[in-house]
Amino acid sequence: MNSIKLTGSCLCGSVKYSVTTEIKKFYFCHCEQCRKITGSSFASNILAKPSTVTWVSGLEKIKRFDYPGEKSYTKVFCSECGSGLPFLNESGNTLFIPAGSLDGDYDLKPDHNIYWADKASWYEAGISAEKCPEFPA
């Protein structure tokens, strides 16, 4: 696999980053922790080779939360807006990049829906719900 340069930021624009890495997998994770931390039906995580993230701006705004449960789980985020940001997992063998934090449109396709058995009961109904170009009136 080839290296790719990715750039991203948080919603408020305080934190910006770039990283050059090799992507291993791209997962939609439906586990309870991912649903809770995103407030949505799943997390969109790119798993990549460990690489140094260059924090272009906002380093002082970055916070890290390590979930104290049995499962190893981490969330790195902007302390201003709460947007997810890249991080190395605890073992240091994988760089997690929240796909929603990327700037621009990269030609990336998810590989798997993981923890499918844990998916929200309303997820599949949402896929077939009416598609609207903006907030409905």
Give the distance from CA 67 to its chain's centroid.
16
DSSP state of 87: E
Average pLDDT over residues 92-109: 95
Q: Is the pLDDT of residue 7 over 90?
A: yes
Task: Give the span between the Cα atoms of 58 and 37, in whole angstroms.
Answer: 21
Give the distance from CA 30 to its chain's centroid.
12
- What pLDDT score does 5 carry? 96
pTM comes to: 0.92
Q: Is the pLDDT of residue 89 over 80?
A: yes
- What pLDDT score does 6 carry? 97
Do residues 67 and 74 touch, judged by C-beta distance below 8 A?
yes
Mean pLDDT (the chain) is 94
Do residues 75 and 86 touch, judged by C-beta distance below 8 A?
no
Name the β-bridge partners of 58: none
Q: Is the pLDDT of residue 63 over 80?
A: yes
Task: Give the span between the Cα atoms of 97 and 49, in whole angstroms.
Answer: 11
Residue found by looking up tokens 């809770």 in the block: 36
Nearest to 34 by CA among 79, 88, 71: 71
Q: How confident is the model at residue 131 (pLDDT cuts 50, 70, 90)?
A: very high
- What pLDDT score does 1 carry? 63
Task: Give the span between the Cα atoms of 76 and 95, in whole angstroms.
Answer: 12
Average pLDDT over residues 105-117: 95
Pairing of β 54-57 and β 84-85: unpaired
Q: Is the pLDDT of residue 70 over 80?
A: no
Average pLDDT over residues 11-24: 97
Least confident window among 43-52, 61-70, 79-88, 98-107: 61-70
Do residues 11 and 77 touch, judged by C-beta distance below 8 A?
no
- What pLDDT score does 90 carry? 84
